[in-house]
Amino acid sequence: MYNSQFELGPVALNVRNLVLQSLFYQQVLGLQDLSQSPNQVDLGVGQNPLVRLIQTEQEGNVNKSYGLFHLALVLPSREDFGTIFRHFIDNKIPLQGASDHGYSEAIYLADTEGNGIEIYRDLPQDTWDVRPDGRIIGKTEPMDAEAVYALGKKADAAYQMPAGSRMGHVHLSVQESTASSRFYQEVLAVEDKFSLPSASWLASGAYHHHLAVNEWGGKNLQMRTAGMPGLAYYTVIYHDAAAYQSMLERAQRQGLLPTITSQEVVFTDKDGITTRALLAAPGQS
């Protein structure tokens, strides 16, 4: 539908309290425990992993470093969106906001260690404000909370995120948004769909954004290092081998020294943010 070269896979977070964070993602977001080891838990919907939690012993506040601004899970329908909103409200889950962006309706919250989360549903594509050059103009207005709540179903049991939910986009906190936007455009071949002096929204194909970058945290945050609480990496998944190979060649032309295996490329930007790019096996969804 969006003619994108890739889709987004799991977002991996380094967490200090693996048990508490795992409970949050299961009980608050309704994700399922797909697999676990003493130091790692994979959570998702059905067989689709969405969030990986990795135990770290490092201390630190996630808001003091570059990395994740928020991960964003998109639900299949407005009714599904209403159901999770009703779950949040009925269970008094602390929320940070709820907005109508013109191309989506979105709810914002944070996990127990301060990692940002967006839950959203896309509005019909033919209602988006798409300009002749392909740019997609968004807005930030209050969400019609009463209408969304009224569409939701009251859960008879513990809330579970519905089948078809997926990682819709990843929003990154960076030092220089213009430089980061240019970097991701050059390596991932995403296009600038909308930008401000301090932020850019980037997408492959006709989607509103797969990635966003902003410098709203300021110029003096810590660069990411291995094991630092917060974003460990995010994942992009290619289904076309030629598109995957082109991405690898662009990364190498940028002077990156990616870690390369037969079906995985891992590279890190100047802020210490790591991208894990995978080539899906034939027939793998």
Residues of the chain falling short of pLDDT 70:
1, 283-285
211 sits in which H/E element: strand 211-214
Q: Exposed e or buried b for every residue in 190-229, given b needs 16+ CB within 10 A?
A: bbbbbbeeebbbbbbebbbbbbbbbbebeeebeebeeebb
Confirm if 173 and 66 have CB atoms less than 8 A apart: yes
Predicted pLDDT of residue 285:
55
DSSP count for the chain of H helices, then E strands: 5, 17
Q: Give the pLDDT confidence of 127-144 residue by residue, as tens digits.
A: 999 999 999 999 999 999
Predicted pLDDT of residue 283:
59
Predicted pLDDT of residue 157:
84
Cα–Cα distance, 250 to 8 (Å, whole number): 19
Predicted pLDDT of residue 256:
86
Percent helix, strand and coil across the chain, each rounded to 5?
A: 20, 40, 40
Cα–Cα distance, 57 to 37 (Å, whole number): 16
Quickly count: other Cβ atoms within 10 Å of residue 71's Cβ.
25
